[in-house]
Chain A
Amino acid sequence: MTPAPPLLRVVSASPEESEPPHAQDHIPRGDLGALYVRYAAYVGAIALRLTGRPEEVDDLVQDVFLAAHRGLRRRETEAEVKGWLATVTVRMAKRRLQRLRLRGFFGQDDGARFDELVAPGASPEQKALVARIYRVLEREPVANRVAWILRRVDGHSVAEVAALCECSPATAKRRIAAASVAIEEVMGRV
């Protein structure tokens, strides 16, 4: 019998953010605008890391809130709300990446400029390293790429990656490993 997927862990929206900011506050489930104000940065951070394309983030975040709104009414706690938003973000990011890949295949996508992906303040070496990693991931299957980012960048456990990607833990592990192999070829073993 397959065990029930574990509860999702809440991941902070940015490295600076260590505590959920509104843990005790009332969650404005019925008000889409208020939900956006509260969670846009959180969703945006996940969207950016998954897609690697800052220019796609605002649209993707909007799509996530439109799609997640109904489901949010059933979520009670901050952790559940964030977990649901993360799940929808992963789902929508995968779709968008697949669409971009298809467009690229037909020559309709200029490709991402990963040099602009990191925040101001990073060293030139870090900037280059991030760009290299994302270029490698760009060639990987979308499912592998997303699983690897959730595991290595966002720091989720394999079980959490499986829940977010809506697959089994074994599949999640296999996808992470496949992306890791591709990155090792460029970076050495990581």
Chain B
Amino acid sequence: MSEVKTELTEALQWVHEDWSEERIRRGRVALERASARQRRARRAGVASAAALAMAATVVAFAWPRSSGELAFSGFSPIGVSTTASSEDTPGALRFQDGSVAIPLGTDTAMATSRDEREHAELELLGGAARFDVVPRPSRAFEVQVGSVRVSVLGTRFDVRRQPRHVLVHVLRGRVRVQWLGGERVLTATQSGLFPLELPGGAGAEVEGASDAGTQPETTETTTADEFDLDFTLDPPDEFLEGSREEEGEPGADGEARGGPRRAAGDWRTLARAGRYDDAYEAARGVTVGDSMSELLLAADTARLTRHLPEAVGHLERALGLHPSDRRAHLAAFTLGRVLLQNGQPDRAARAFARAQQLDSTGVLREAALAREVQALARAGNRDAARRRARTYLAQYPSGRHANSVRAYADGP
């Protein structure tokens, strides 16, 4: 008897399945899609009920009555979301006010969860999309990507959902991005990479958020907009808190370290607050530390105050000292941009090539390759530009820079 029971117990223990990451990822996308559908249906139901009640009230008061007869006329629900696909762009979602969300790939999955006078909301469940939002202060426009929320302040911007992060790139205007670790406002030409989850608790695992130049580059060609992708050089404070201790950077125990370090802390504070001119002045005569965070911040301060050779120095030092740092590819990418701005396209091309090598996550690879093509062309190296352009088109046939790159690939 007990032997049978043991056999049975042992056999039943085999009733289980593997839940691979891929299965969970697919399930999550399906769940979020279903959840968005459910919310839409619920809102439509509420709106229909409200419309029904309103219509009933109107009819009850306004309809001419005859000898105790209460008549109902036909009515249509009002206030129901009428988001529909745009006619000109397949898969695009158009909002009542003319704002539009355009999918940037075949893997894009998005759903409108609210389209009202005061509030429009869309969920990006997978892939990437471009949002062209009609500015209207009285209406909030929000994009939810997992735990990351992008609030729009009248703008044009791209959002890409990656397995662990959300990439936001602002083309025009401003957006506010809120993630589990904090929030940040991005303005035109700025980009940020925000984590979908914080595995170690609040504020523990921010991969980075960007603060690129606040003004569009004036030295770019007419296709600059296509290439204008910039990345994290100013991680949020909570990230810096962690890295300070790791790297022995001044500021982790600033009270004990004394005068010159306090001065260095001042320029860092100013730089993080976006006051780069003040930060640059405060940093005069202060030795910049060797940590990656400090070098990147110093590079930002220098390049955004148009001290490009100094920025190049900081970035090259950062790459030399920290080639394995997880932000090394960002440093190389920015070095390429600065060199390009500084009229050194041949060196810029090498920096962009290095950014591709260092980018283990693949987040920047496409942009860096596109920039490399641009830099090679500007350096007069047409053969190399054509070769790299063809590589780009082979790897990213419908990439976001494909149209710009194609001009270089099609040359003689």
- Measured CA separation A45–B18 after assembly (Å): 9
Contact indicator B27/A190 (Cβ below 8 Å): no
Question: A41: CB under 8 A from chain B?
Answer: yes
Q: Which of A15, A41, A49, A69 contacts B24 (CB 8 A)?
A: A41
The stretch of B31-39, B91-99, B393-401, B402-410 that contacts the partner chain: B31-39
Within 8 A of A (CB), among B15-36: 15-19, 23-24, 27-28, 30-32, 34-35
The distance from the CB of A181 to the nearest CB of chain B, in whole angstroms, is: 15
Question: B7: CB under 8 A from chain A?
Answer: yes
Q: Which residues of A have CB within 8 Å of B285?
A: none
Question: A122: CB under 8 A from chain B?
Answer: yes
Contact indicator A15/B13 (Cβ below 8 Å): yes
Q: Which residues of A have CB within 8 Å of B16?
A: 13-15, 45, 48-49, 119
Contact indicator B201/A119 (Cβ below 8 Å): no
Contact indicator B147/A129 (Cβ below 8 Å): no
Question: B70: CB under 8 A from chain A?
Answer: no
Within 8 A of A (CB), among B152-209: 196-199, 201-202
Contact indicator A31/B11 (Cβ below 8 Å): no
Contact indicator B146/A34 (Cβ below 8 Å): yes
Contact indicator A36/B31 (Cβ below 8 Å): yes
- Measured CA separation A15–B17 after assembly (Å): 11
The distance from the CB of A154 to the nearest CB of chain B, in whole angstroms, is: 9
Question: A32: CB under 8 A from chain B?
Answer: yes
User: What does DSSP make chain A's interface, helix, strand, loop or mixed?
Assistant: helix
Contact indicator A41/B146 (Cβ below 8 Å): no
Q: Which of A26, A119, A188 contacts B1 (CB 8 A)?
A: A188
Contact indicator A133/B201 (Cβ below 8 Å): no
Contact indicator A26/B202 (Cβ below 8 Å): yes
Q: Which residues of A have CB within 8 Å of B202?
A: 26
Question: B8: CB under 8 A from chain A?
Answer: yes
- Bitwise, B230-247 to A at CB < 8 A (1) or not (0) is 000000000000000000
Question: A126: CB under 8 A from chain B?
Answer: yes
Contact indicator B34/A25 (Cβ below 8 Å): no
Question: A102: CB under 8 A from chain B?
Answer: no
Contact indicator A32/B35 (Cβ below 8 Å): yes
Question: B62: CB under 8 A from chain A?
Answer: no
The distance from the CB of B192 to the nearest CB of chain A, in whole angstroms, is: 19
Contact indicator B32/A33 (Cβ below 8 Å): yes
Q: Decide: A66 near B4, CB < 8 A? Known: A28-B147, A36-B24.
A: no
Question: B14: CB under 8 A from chain A?
Answer: yes
Contact indicator A153/B27 (Cβ below 8 Å): no
Question: B10: CB under 8 A from chain A?
Answer: yes
- Measured CA separation A49–B31 after assembly (Å): 21
Question: B65: CB under 8 A from chain A?
Answer: no
Contact indicator B17/A57 (Cβ below 8 Å): yes
- Bitwise, A17-44 to B at CB < 8 A (1) or not (0) is 0000000011010011110110011001
- Measured CA separation A52–B15 after assembly (Å): 8
Contact indicator B24/A40 (Cβ below 8 Å): yes
Q: Which of B15, B24, B35 has the most CB of A within 10 A?
A: B15
Question: A169: CB under 8 A from chain B?
Answer: no
Contact indicator A36/B28 (Cβ below 8 Å): yes
Q: Decide: A33 near B31, CB < 8 A? Known: A25-B201, A66-B38, A130-B11.
A: yes
Q: Which residues of A have CB within 8 Å of B5?
A: 190
Question: B273: CB under 8 A from chain A?
Answer: no
The distance from the CB of B183 to the nearest CB of chain A, in whole angstroms, is: 16
Q: Which residue of A lies closest to B26 (CB)?
A: A58
Q: Which residues of A have CB within 8 Å of B24?
A: 36-37, 40-41
The distance from the CB of A24 to the nearest CB of chain B, in whole angstroms, is: 9
Question: B256: CB under 8 A from chain A?
Answer: no
Contact indicator B14/A118 (Cβ below 8 Å): yes
Contact indicator A32/B14 (Cβ below 8 Å): no
Contact indicator B17/A129 (Cβ below 8 Å): no
Question: A139: CB under 8 A from chain B?
Answer: no
Question: A6: CB under 8 A from chain B?
Answer: no
Q: Which residues of A have CB within 8 Å of B17?
A: 44-45, 48, 54, 57, 119
Q: Which residues of A have CB within 8 Å of B10?
A: 126
Q: Which residues of A have CB within 8 Å of B28?
A: 33, 36-37, 40
The distance from the CB of A7 to the nearest CB of chain B, in whole angstroms, is: 25
- Measured CA separation A69–B39 after assembly (Å): 12
Q: Which residue of B lies closest to A114 (CB)?
A: B15
The distance from the CB of A111 to the nearest CB of chain B, in whole angstroms, is: 18
- Bitwise, B26-56 to A at CB < 8 A (1) or not (0) is 0110111011001000000000000000000
- Measured CA separation A146–B30 after assembly (Å): 27
Contact indicator B31/A32 (Cβ below 8 Å): yes
Q: Decide: A118 near B15, CB < 8 A? Known: A37-B24, A40-B24, A62-B27.
A: yes
Contact indicator B11/A122 (Cβ below 8 Å): yes
Contact indicator B1/A31 (Cβ below 8 Å): no
Given contacts A57-B17, A117-B15, A130-B11, 20 further A-B contacts (CB under 8 A): A15-B16, A25-B199, A31-B146, A32-B31, A37-B24, A40-B27, A41-B19, A49-B16, A58-B23, A58-B27, A66-B34, A118-B11, A118-B14, A119-B14, A119-B16, A119-B17, A133-B11, A133-B12, A153-B12, A189-B4
The 6 A-B pairs of least Cβ separation, nearest first, read A122-B14, A41-B19, A118-B14, A126-B11, A129-B11, A14-B16
9 A–B contacts, CB within 8 A, in A order: A34-B146, A48-B17, A49-B16, A117-B15, A119-B16, A122-B14, A125-B11, A126-B7, A127-B11
